[in-house]
Amino acid sequence: MSRYEPGQIEAKWQEAWDKAGVFTATRDAARPKYYVLEMFPYPSGRIHMGHVRNYTMGDVVARYKSSCGFSVLHPMGWDAFGMPAENAAMERGGHPKDWTYGNIADMRGQMKPLGLSIDWSREFATCDPEYYGQQQAMFLDMMDKGLIYRKAAVVNWDPVDMTVLANEQVENGRGWRSGALVERRELTQWFFKISDYAEDLLEALDGLKDWPEKVRLMQANWIGKSRGLQFAFETIGAPDGFEKLECYTTRPDTLMGAAFAGISPDHPIAKALESDPKVAAFLAQCRLGGTTAEALETAEKIGFDTGIRVKHPLNPDWELPVWIANFILMDYGTGAIFGCPAHDQRDFEFATKYGLPINPVFVAEGAAEAPLTEAFIPMKSERVQYVRALDGNRVMTGDEGVAQAIALAEARGFGQGVTKFRLRDWGISRQRYWGCPIPVVHCATCGVVPEKKENLPVELPYDVSFDKPGNPLDRHPTWRDVACPKCGAAAKRETDTMDTFVDSSWYYARFTAPRATTPTVAEDAAYWMNVDQYIGGIEHAILHLLYSRFFARAMNETGHLPEKAREPFNALFTQGMVTHEIYLTRDANGRAVYHLPEDIIRSEAGATLKDGTVVEVIPSAKMSKSKKNVVDPMNIIADFGADTARWFVMSDSPPERDVEWTSSGAEATAKHLGRVWRLADEISRDTTAPTDEDQALARAAARAIVDVTYGIENFAFNKSVAALYGFTNTLAKAKAGAEARKSAMRIMAQLMSPMVPHLAEEVWAMLGGEGLVARAPWPKADPALLVEDSVTLPIQINGKRRAEISVPKDMPASEVEKIALANEDVIKFLAGQPVKKFIVVPGRIINVVV
């Protein structure tokens, strides 16, 4: 008897697939196409269980669709630009390029043994000049279309290292290397005009029927369409040129509850007042801390009374003080608000702190006006009693109050109803080396000049060093100093590079023609687009997906994608994350140093490093490179084979849910696959004559086909796996004849093939299956075998299950009722009480109400 030896069979079948070119994607007009894509990985150097889970899901879909007759495109590439490469260069020396390509080679070497059905001939990395050169070409096309501009924007500034920090590099308001308090500082930066598409991006969400509802909701909230009033306060005592203060509010119905006017620390008026040392000191205080929304909104609310007054638009005798407040964002609305403490929690806290009046505009319907202990903020759809309405107090909803206020403001001419979006333009400038260079030149006479297309790619210079803080491109004279493409005079290249989100916003399109000398090729894009099934982490629900949707529109308008690809992803599946505990120690400055799970020794007492140092254990979180809480799947592959790793990540947890990695279970999976192997081996040598159980086995196989197919179609791979466990148990126990068992085993091989393709090929071959199972058409269940003649109906009495009866499938309800009421247990539980109601749900349940 032979043994299941994954190490041998996996290599053998991978070679067989390669030789037969099973996974090479080809345009085939005769067949429908199917494009399945998993979010491509960052080449950290090691694959982890999250990758295995993500790519196995895509592989199951790709292999299944291929069996169903589709021409499948299933590519793989590398999201290869980004900070970790520069961090590695700073920490360990070496070059980001060498580090990145080395990591790619390592990761490819780890992924290949998984036996994924990937067309590797299409592989590319975003740091290939052939890729980012095409990105630069599109940047120039988008510039032509007016989709790109420059403006000042705020960055995290480390005053000690004299460098810009990413949000990730800010820890508790301090720079991660220097430990210095981070400041907010303005730089001139490049922006994509994504806000032009706000309405389109919002409305088109309705058409994304095969996207998770929660992702569409998150995107809609992110885009944040609001209807409100824009109006101007007349100012008293403001600097010249600021006779008006423009405000935007979504609650103009609360205008009579105004207690103050507030402006952002970045507002032009605040800047105009900065010559006053007190104002300057206050603004400096506001600029401490990071740039994230979270940092801004959780910071303690502080304010500064400017002494400026504004006239209330409805009563010129009513004057309000103008405060600078740190919780007002310059990016949203006009950067100025009126504060209504009674109906906004932030304003309430602010007013309480600085002793400003708190006057309610409305109270709960039927309630009396009373002092508030917190802001009263009912849903806008809720009816409330107005007590300080703009125009006549009455009971109405907030929405009605807002509409009335806008109408009144427009009639009196002090404001207009306007629609605004929360979505800001996409800032893409990064003051870093390892990214796609922005292909423009700054000339003293011509200004900002696009690089000529024939000079693309603007390639990153290799001879750079990371021994000083800041961007090495800034101090690389032979790269930076160039002739102006327009006038030929001495000029300087733009040294900012692009956000890596740009790289990942069009890679799906590039896979359709990865070697082309243009960004895309019309025929290839027309055939392969759109992505039929996109699979990736929920953490990308907003930014990556929104940017990609924007980019697809921009590519359509610049002629790089067809109209149908403006929404590039037909269906989206967001897998849950693989989580793991985090282990950390503290360095001399008290900052966190993270450790890999494989370096940790866990005992009952706690966790330590190998040298005995005690480590802090933080509860499970997303596996991430920076936190080092990653698990290495290579050990499982080495010990048990790729099929075990694949089966393991597909079983148990529903794909959309997070899964906590535990090492137990891999052995059990290997056991099961060994059992399938032995069963196949035994059946292949069976010579039993047909028996009367043959039909029952055929029925079980038909049931398995339906259940496994349902699981794959609905992204419930765990249910497909469960159905296969059940089918294995049934087949192992079946006393059927050899032919029936062989037939069932071949169906098993086919049904298992998307999850455990190597074992499936081996079983298929053992049982005389024709050719490769990877090329065999997906089995179909004979409907006749699925029909059940009788059903078991549970009987509930007052909603509690008390008995069950077995009746023919099509028995009419009146007959069922007679049989149910004659049932011994039913009679016992009814105890002679009269039946009030008798409910029969055909084929499901009976409920007797007494």
Q: Footprint of RNA on residues 183-212 (CB under 7 A)?
A: 187, 189
Q: Is 485 or 674 the residue whose CB approaches RNA more closely?
A: 674
Site for RNA in 240-279 (CB under 7 A): none
d(CA 621, CA 658): 10
Residue 481 structure tokens: 């100093």
Residues listed for the chain: 850
Q: Is 293 or 490 the residue whose CB approaches RNA more closely?
A: 293
| 546 SS3 class | helix
Site for RNA in 754-793 (CB under 7 A): 792
Among 2, 8, 172, 221, binds RNA (CB under 7 A): 221
Q: Is 453 or 671 the residue whose CB approaches RNA more closely?
A: 671
d(CA 238, CA 791): 83
Task: Output the smallest distance, CB 769 to RNA, in A.
Answer: 23
* CB atoms inside a 10 Å sphere around CB 311: 15
| 421 SS3 class | strand
Alpha helices in 601-693 (DSSP H): 634-640, 642-650, 666-684
Q: Is 349 or 524 the residue whose CB approaches RNA more closely?
A: 349
Q: x/- string (CB under 7 A) for RNA, residues 70-109?
A: ---------x-xxxx-------------------------
Q: Is 347 or 532 the residue whose CB approaches RNA more closely?
A: 347
User: ω into residue 321 within 30 of 0, thus cis?
Assistant: no
d(CA 169, CA 138): 30
Query: Do 124 and 78 touch, CB atoms closer than 8 A?
Result: yes
Q: x/- string (CB under 7 A) for RNA, residues 509-548?
A: -----------------------------xxxxxxx----
Q: Is 125 or 484 the residue whose CB approaches RNA more closely?
A: 125
∠ CA 52-53-59 to the nearest 5 degrees?
85
Task: Output the smallest distance, CB 715 to RNA, in A.
Answer: 11
| 317 SS3 class | strand
Site for RNA in 473-512 (CB under 7 A): 499-501, 504
Check residue 729 for interaction with RNA (CB under 7 A). yes
Task: Output the smallest distance, CB 775 to RNA, in A.
Answer: 28
Q: Residue 790: phi, psi to the nearest 5? A: -130, 155
Half-sphere exposure of 739 (CA within 13 A, CB side): 6
Site for RNA in 18-57 (CB under 7 A): 41-42
Check residue 594 for interaction with RNA (CB under 7 A). no
Task: Output the smallest distance, CB 215 to RNA, in A.
Answer: 7
Please give the single-letter amino acid code of residue 740.
A
Site for RNA in 625-684 (CB under 7 A): 626, 651-654, 657-660, 664-665, 667-668, 671-672, 674-675
Residue 344 structure tokens: 């906004």
Site for RNA in 441-470 (CB under 7 A): none
Check residue 426 for interaction with RNA (CB under 7 A). yes
Please give the single-letter amino acid code of residue 589.
N
Residue-wise DSSP of 211-280: S-HHHHHHHHHHH-EEEEEEEEEEEESPPTT-SEEEEEES-GGGGGG--EEEE-TTSHHHHHTTTSHHHH
Task: Output the smallest distance, CB 411 to RNA, in A.
Answer: 32
Q: Is 33 or 553 the residue whose CB approaches RNA more closely?
A: 553
Query: Do 720 and 664 touch, CB atoms closer than 8 A?
Result: no
Check residue 213 for interaction with RNA (CB under 7 A). yes
| 37 SS3 class | strand
Query: Do 286 and 323 touch, CB atoms closer than 8 A?
Result: no
Distances (CA, A) of 798 to 400, 833, 844, 848, 850: 46, 12, 16, 6, 7
Secondary structure of 577-607 as H, E, C letters: CEEEEEEEEECCCCCEEEECHHHEEEECCEE
d(CA 398, CA 408): 15
Q: Residue 447: which H helix or E strand, with range? A: strand 447-450
d(CA 579, CA 50): 8
Q: Is 331 or 782 the residue whose CB approaches RNA more closely?
A: 331
Among 722, 785, 819, 830, binds RNA (CB under 7 A): 722
Site for RNA in 328-347 (CB under 7 A): 331, 345
d(CA 189, CA 196): 18
Percent helix, strand, coil in the chain (nearest 5)? 40, 25, 35
Q: Is 150 or 278 the residue whose CB approaches RNA more closely?
A: 150
Q: Is 66 or 103 the residue whose CB approaches RNA more closely?
A: 103
Task: Output the smallest distance, CB 555 to RNA, in A.
Answer: 20
Of the ranges 235-243, 590-598, 608-616, 721-729, which one interacts with RNA (CB under 7 A)?
Answer: 721-729
Site for RNA in 616-635 (CB under 7 A): 619-622, 624, 626
Q: Is 21 or 654 the residue whose CB approaches RNA more closely?
A: 654
Site for RNA in 132-191 (CB under 7 A): 153, 155-156, 164-169, 187, 189
d(CA 755, CA 748): 12
Among 102, 179, 378, 726, binds RNA (CB under 7 A): 726
Q: Is 479 or 727 the residue whose CB approaches RNA more closely?
A: 727
Task: Output the smallest distance, CB 844 to RNA, in A.
Answer: 4
Q: Is 176 or 354 the residue whose CB approaches RNA more closely?
A: 176
Site for RNA in 790-819 (CB under 7 A): 792, 794, 796, 798-801, 804
Q: Is 422 or 486 the residue whose CB approaches RNA more closely?
A: 422
Q: How many residues bind RNA (CB under 7 A)?
A: 101
Site for RNA in 732-751 (CB under 7 A): 732-733
| 160 SS3 class | coil
Check residue 2 for interaction with RNA (CB under 7 A). no
Task: Output the smallest distance, CB 32 to RNA, in A.
Answer: 28
Q: x/- string (CB under 7 A) for RNA, residues 380-419?
A: ----------------------------------------
